[in-house]
Amino acid sequence: MVTKNKKLKVLARNLRKDMTLSETLLWQYLRKGQMLGYRFRRQEVIGNYIVDFFCRKLRLAI
């Protein structure tokens, strides 16, 4: 498992608090497994990057 960059973790937390309107609308659809039962996470740190939405089961980053 890759160690998460602590600075990115803090930045991701701030991005979750200050989502854009587009992100908010998409999150309302993706949350709680509403998209065919798949679960998504917001502002996920992957290596040296922060992806807006991530589904671990599908290995899909948006």
Of 3-12, 22-31, 45-54, least confident by mean pLDDT is: 3-12
Is residue 1's pLDDT more than 50? no
Q: Kindly report the pTM of this predicted structure.
A: 0.79
Average pLDDT score over residue span 25-50: 90
Q: Of 6 and 54, which is predicted with more confidence? A: 54
In the sheet that holds 41-46, the strands lie side by side as 41-46, 49-55, 60-61
Residue 26's pLDDT band (cuts 50, 70, 90): very high
Q: Which residues contact 1 (CB under 8 A, 6 or more apart)?
A: none
Return d(Cα 33, Cα 36) in angstroms, integer: 7
Domain segments of the chain as ranges: 6-61
Average pLDDT score over residue span 2-28: 87
**Strand pairing class (60-61; 41-46):** unpaired
